[in-house]
Chains A and B, each alone.
Chain A
Amino acid sequence: MSSQLILQSLVSGILVGGIYGLVALGLALAFGVLKVLDVAHGELVMLGGYASFFAFTYWGLDPFASMPLVFVVMFGFGLGLYLLLFRYVTRTEIRTRIKNSLLISFGLVLVLQALAVRFFTADERTISTAYSFEAFTIGPVRVPVVRLAGLVVAVVAAVALEWMMSRTRFGRALRATSEDWTRAALTGVNVRRVYLIAFAISAALAGIAGSMVSLGYSVSPNIGLGWTLNALIVVVLAGLGSMRGIVVAGVFLGLVESLAGVWIGGQYREVAALVLFLVILSFRPQGFFGRAHA
């Protein structure tokens, strides 16, 4: 095994992991704050991907230029989803909340997937821009520009989210709500509004993750489950409720898959990651960064 191959797969793994982290950020926010498990998160990524694909195809908008637009559109979509569906779930007690959100978002998976097939066809779509295949080389290692951009977007999004959570008034309300919504409500936090905005931000983050997916990977109606599963793994690895470790856990997952691809064979890279995930979950259910019994 040449060291160059390993070095290359390390770099690829880190870059892929950036996208995993980006997809997982929104899921972690929804779970951490609302205690809602949205398994349709991957479908929101898919919709974001289509939004940016169509903006590129019809208006010639570069995916980076359309990213704010996708953010706003998916933010609106998130508002709608919350008001229509998740609003009713957040009224219940935590255990029922998790179970029911799992179930209704699973129904949502079916609906969004079928609608995507109906309106966007089952074709795989990828945005190819002038820079899509550009890469710069550092020594023996090739770094594709679009994937590096994905990692950069992930880090920027994570820092922005962290800043919002720790420095803004809304972020304080958000943290209070995620710790104990009853006490937050008693101290005057408008819990429903916090839920609404947090869910919308979660959907918007899925949207910009979708932009990056349509650029560096491809979008089709059935990509959702794969991204959701990856995101779930990342969120659990980071520790449920922990926002800080998300990108790190994403990069970890990317690295595991990439190295497993080299050592075990490409067709078993996901299996290796899933098995390793189950093993880690068995021995450290609170994740890398979570507190025990949190």
Chain B
Amino acid sequence: MRRSVTVVATVVTLGALIGIGIFSDSQHILTLSIQTMVLAALASSWNILGGFAGQISLGHAAFFGLGALIARELWLGGTSLAVAVVVAVAVTSVTSAVVGVPMLRFREIYFAIGTLALGVAVFITAGNLWPGISSLPAEALRNYDFTGPYFMALGVLVVAVVVSIWLKRSKVGLGMMTVRDDEEAAKATGVDVFAHKMIAFVVSASLAALAGSAFAYFSVSYYPNFPFSVIWTLEAILVVFIGGVGTIVGPLLGAVFFIVGRDALPTDIDEFQVVLFGLLFIVVVLLLPGGLIEAADRLAPSKKRETPRPQQTNRQQDKGKELT
């Protein structure tokens, strides 16, 4: 029952997305869709490390930026797009594996602070090394067509989701969730904690680089250090938690909610939107740790829940320890 619903929903969503890509002429809709899909892919990639493996990274933008940087430089330099993307993802995955060795030795809060420090250091360095704005050449600008970037973003999103689903069902993914829920218990049951964190870290970074290369292909002009900005990390985390951390659909739902919501809100006061999303995020963390997904589940309580979600297990553990 539940499975068939999922299949139908997937087919309909994918069909609708392909349909928009082929038939829509509205630049507005195409731009919003591309932004949503890139953010959803980035959020899904963060979710693998943060939601599945429980390692809160605040430096995720470093990999998004690295992917964007390499893909853009190669592509504008004349390499074919496919090669540029493959190289970008490959270089980022190797880099993340190297960086992961010292980073993953940091636990919990140290990991968050360490990745934040790394992200900021990379951001400043990128700004120093590539100070000039990166724009598409006039020729490409005149013939700019949304179809290419649109389907690339869709492809990237599909890859991110498929990898997430596969991970969630695989033994490796189970290992990650064990590490997230209780590192000591994971160790005791024979799970190689470091290896599982490392896989999550590298897969997450590679998918972020993939999302970054979609951003690089789509964007007309930006400063090369912009994709390295901590804003991307923050938006990814916001989206993941609003949607539902540790789930497959959560990051996607969160991204749609975020981009469409931002578009629908009055634009004359930009700050108003940020305040609203910031407050919503706080409310979700405090009151609805499962995000929108959990809210939907609560509204339709007859459905069986597949796997327990991270926050809930924590909350149950905490019950006995509450201050009275």
Contacts and interface: CB of A to CB of B under 8 A. Distances in A.
Interface of A: 37, 85, 88-93, 95-96, 98-100, 102-104, 106-111, 113-115, 117-118, 181, 185, 191-192, 225, 229, 232-233, 236, 240, 267-268, 270-271, 274-275, 277-278, 281-282, 285
B109 interface: yes
Given A99-B108, A110-B238, A232-B113, 4 more contacts: A92-B322, A99-B56, A107-B281, A111-B275
A289 B293 CA distance: 44
Interface stretch (B33-41, B67-75, B114-122, B199-207): B114-122
Interface of B: 56, 102, 105-106, 108-110, 112-114, 116-118, 120-121, 124-125, 128, 230, 234, 237-238, 241, 269-272, 274-275, 277-279, 281-282, 285-286, 314-315, 317-318, 321-323
17 contacts: A91-B318, A92-B315, A104-B282, A104-B286, A106-B237, A106-B281, A107-B279, A113-B274, A114-B275, A114-B278, A225-B230, A232-B113, A268-B124, A268-B128, A275-B121, A281-B113, A282-B106
A95 B314 contact: yes
A270 B125 CA distance: 10
A90 B282 contact: no
A282 B110 CA distance: 10
Contacts of A99: 56, 108
Contacts of B272: 114, 118
Contacts of A271: 121, 124-125
Interface residues of B, dominant DSSP: helix
A277 B114 CA distance: 9
Contacts of B118: 274, 278
B181 to A, nearest CB: 11
B282 A85 contact: yes
Given A95-B108, A106-B234, A267 B121 contact: no
Quick one: which of B121, B128, B238, B315 has the most chain A CB within 10 A?
A: B121
B196 to A, nearest CB: 18
A100 B121 CA distance: 25
Nearest to A110: B278
Nearest to A102: B112
A114 B318 CA distance: 33
Contacts of B56: 99, 102
Contact of B274 (A98, A111, A281): A111
Contact of B285 (A91, A103, A109, A281): A103
Contacts of B125: 268, 271
Quick one: which of B241, B285, B321 has the most chain A CB within 10 A?
A: B285
A185 B322 CA distance: 12
Which A-B residue pairs are the 6 nearest by beta carbons?
Answer: A110-B278, A114-B274, A111-B278, A114-B271, A107-B282, A274-B121
B104 to A, nearest CB: 11
Given A107-B281, A110-B274, A192-B323, A281 B106 contact: yes
A278 B124 contact: no
Contacts of A277: 117
A278 B314 contact: no
Contact of B271 (A102, A115, A240, A270): A115
Contacts of B120: 225, 229, 270, 274
